[in-house]
Amino acid sequence: MPLVSHHPMRSSKTLTPLLLVAIIFLTNVTASAALSACIDEHNRFVLNGKPFFPLGLYVVQSLTDTNELDEIANSPFDTLMNYNVNSGTDAQITQYLNELESRKLKLIFSLKEYVGHGHQDIDTISHKVKTFGSHPSIISWYLNDELSPKHLLELEVRYEKVRELDANHPVWSVHWNRNWLVKEGHTTDIVGVDPYPIDNNPITLVSQMADAARKVGKPLWLVPQVFSWQDYPADFRAVTGRPPTRDEMRAMTYLAVNHGAKGLIYYSYFNIRDDKDYGTRWQQIKEIGEEIDTLRLVFLSSFPTNDGDIECTDTNIDFQLMREGDTYYLFAVNTKKIAISDTLFRVNLIKAPSTIDTMFEGDRRIPVSNGGFRDHFTPYEVHVYRWR
């Protein structure tokens, strides 16, 4: 029996309190400034009154072993989604949250396993939210890990219970199926997608899923792939699976932000720690994270640009122009496994720059001639251009 078609319509009297919470939570920046977290009018996540771009990792951590916390704290990453957070007593969980707070790390608290057990799930969720919701390390609740619409009624009840008990922290939900995003969009405050294309799909699966998520009209925290499908031997993709290269991980990262991601939670730290090339790939991931850390304010900027401000002659180059203050940033990604030479970018601004700086490439500068500039791309290469 279809769950959605038999879901009764709620009366306006029943919905009024929830709607009031949603209106305050999502749109009233002044009223929500005192809250620990909210969504502002630019669809940005705001933490303690300031726009915040979470740069995070999926982990499976013991609540008592702090070695991994120390390693992550010594990196650009500041946000964790720990599948193991509910493995201890309330006292142990509280101590774990304290350890995070002492290292300036934030947590997306997982409630995703509490489904399929009737009212027992609501009781457990209520207890978790009431017990830990005021802890300063928590920024969000993780309510849905790829649950299909057959769970829609449960998701609605669980979401409303979290919102009823905690107006301070938004709900984040993640999907691999694009068709579920809009159907379940009303059961979350922040949308997530987890495209894992390496090595079974074009790398543009990342941008396609990000575009699908944006149709929900809510902020997007995307989950880029850093693991190998070989880590999951029961999955059909394990046959062709391999670890993504540094250039592939970097390309997926910039495709995500080019297509609207306002947060990145990489999957997964626990997988790469078990791989033989852990030391090499962890260093690569940290270097990519350092770039994103440098650019967080740009990705959160509310300064407008126009679609026609930049044109590119090659459709295989995915690009996005952003502006922060008086500085423009152009993010360009080669989406192909082959090199692309002599790509022309035309700058259609009232005042075009005379030279373009490249970030993360030493002191390389590119001259602008006749309102445009040319560059070359190795396979999956990313260029970050900047000018005032």
CATH number at residue 370: 2.60.40.1180
Query: What confidence category does residue 352 fall into, taking pLDDT thresholds of 50, 70 and 90?
Result: confident
Nearest CA to 333 out of 387, 380, 264 is that of: 380
The CATH number given to whatever domain includes residue 112 is: 3.20.20.80
The pLDDT assigned to 15 comes to 41
Is residue 174 scored above 80 in pLDDT?
A: yes
Residue 3 lies in a domain: no
Mean per-residue pLDDT, 270-290: 96
Is residue 384 scored above 70 in pLDDT?
A: yes
For 209-227, what is each residue's pLDDT tens digit?
Answer: 999 999 999 999 999 999 9
d(CA 286, CA 308): 34
The tokens describing 86, both together, are: 């509910």
Residues 28 and 96 in one domain: yes
Contact 229, 343 (CB under 8 A): no
Residue 213 lies in a domain: yes
Residues 19 and 134 in one domain: yes
Share of the chain above pLDDT 70, in %: 91
Residues 246 and 122 in one domain: yes
Element (H, E) at 345: strand 340-347
For 301-332, what is each residue's pLDDT tens digit?
Answer: 999 999 999 999 999 999 999 999 999 999 99
Of 245, 265, 299, which residue sits at a domain end? 299
Of 299, 331, 359, which residue sits at a domain end? 299
Buried b (16+ CB within 10 A) or exposed e, 102-140: eeebbbbbbbbebbeeeeebbeebeebbeebbebebbbb
d(CA 380, CA 300): 24
Residues 46 and 167 in one domain: yes
Classify 335 as helix, strand or coil: coil
How many domains, the chain? 2
Residue 4 lies in a domain: no
Residues 256 and 179 in one domain: yes
Estimate to the nearest angstrom the gap between the alpha carbon of 83 and the chain centroid. 17
Q: What range defines the domain where residue 252 resides?
A: 12-299
What is the length of the chain? 388
DSSP string, 370-385: TTEEEEEE-TT-EEEE
pTM over 0.85, yes/no: yes
Residue 89 lies in a domain: yes
